[in-house]
Amino acid sequence: MDGRPDVPYRWAPPPPIGYPGIMPGCTFGRLNMNTYKKLQNMSAPDIAYIAGLIDGEGTVTLTRKHKNENRQLCISISSTEISLLEFVLSVTGVGKITNKQASKSHHAHSYAYAVYNRMR
């Protein structure tokens, strides 16, 4: 074994640490680096607040989006208050907010913020 993961698509090594930038149109594996958003710089209070949200209302999981893919790290926060999730999205600059389906008619409408596979 040469250290490469067993994946169904062409494997490409990640760029070295300190890599100055990505050339336009360059892709690593199936990830188009042109559309990969960078995590924004955050203040210590914002980091602490978001860490508390993840601890209280969130989950950290390894998940697959499709059957034959490797697992991906997922950090998600669920809430009925969309303004709270919009705050997290605006502070971090990464992830997305989706609607959650209510399992019963008397449940409140809720939303989920999720971010997958962030390196920095």
* Res 83: pLDDT: 92
The dihedral through the CA atoms of 36, 78, 75, 90 has a sign that is positive
* Res 3: pLDDT: 52
* Res 58: pLDDT: 94
Between CA 80 and CA 85, with CA 84 as vertex, the angle to 5 degrees is 85
**pLDDT tens figures, 73-113:** 899 999 999 999 999 999 998 999 999 887 788 888 899 99
* Res 41: pLDDT: 86
- Residues 70, 82: Cα–Cα separation, whole Å: 30
Which CATH number fits the domain 38-116, given the four candidates 3.10.28.10, 3.40.309.10, 3.10.450.50, 3.40.50.10140? 3.10.28.10
Question: What are the structural domain ranges in the chain?
Answer: 38-116
